[in-house]
Amino acid sequence: MSNPEISLIIPAYNEAERIGKSLVSAKEYLSENFENYEIVVVDDGSSDGTADIAGSAGDFVKVLKLEMNCGKGAAVRKGMLNSTGLFRVFSDADFSTPIYELKKIIEELKSGADVCIGSRAIQPDLIKVHQPFFRELLGKTFNLFVRTFLFSGFKDTQCGFKGFKDYAAENVFSKAKIDGFGFDVEILYIAKIQGYNIKQVPVEWYNDDRTTVSPVKGLKAFIELFEIKRLHN
């Protein structure tokens, strides 16, 4: 059997309430648009039965497990390196960026991009439900730190909707070390160092108030920015 055209990687931590519905939506969209695909759910040490729910969704879902809660970066890395698709895309479990926006990522990858990232900053009117003011302010401050200390050119590094060609995914994620939310910046930093063609596309986005991102984890990402330079220079 040939490798799938697309691998959809979904990192999940205590997503029992949402993962079932998200997998149904993903299967419907992928079945209609791709002949061959795989969905990879990476359970990040959940305590609410997330892995069991994902595993019961059907044979089209592959479930990988981290024995303890390691962080979104660790979960995405495991999914990317254990997928087999020509195009590998990761998405948040709540589909804050709707699954149908996947077509924008795939079009860019098919047109020559090595990496393509969804952005909420290119076309702000596509943000249909905003985060609370404090979270938006924290995000803008974080991006200012990224542009000041690491690299410019991306006004939104944190949208959880990014795609890679298979060779780029294997190269970038095999070098990645950051387990927390700073991993988005790290993988873009590595991709830039490697000289990959990185494209950005505007995507719809709907904030979900049930986010599992704590303020502490968000603040930790600032510290991880300085780790990135140390790790990759």
The pLDDT of residue 211: 60
Segment 117-130 mean pLDDT: 92
Domains along the sequence of the chain with CATH: 6-232 (3.90.550.10)
CA distance 120 to 193: 24
Residue 233 binned pLDDT confidence (cut-offs 50, 70, 90): confident
Give yes or no for residue 209 having a pLDDT over 80: no
The neighbour count for residue 192, using CB atoms within 10 Å, is 15
Give yes or no for residue 45 having a pLDDT over 70: yes
Give residue-wise pLDDT tens across range 92-103: 999 999 999 999
Give yes or no for residue 215 having a pLDDT over 80: no
**How long is the chain?**
233
Strand stretches in the chain, DSSP E: 6-12, 37-44, 61-66, 87-91, 115-119, 127-129, 161-165, 198-202, 205-206
pTM of the shown model: 0.93
The pLDDT of residue 216: 66
Give residue-wise pLDDT tens across range 141-193: 999 999 999 999 999 999 999 999 999 999 999 999 999 989 999 999 999 99
How many Å from the N-terminal Cα to the C-terminal Cα in the chain? 40
The pLDDT of residue 220: 83
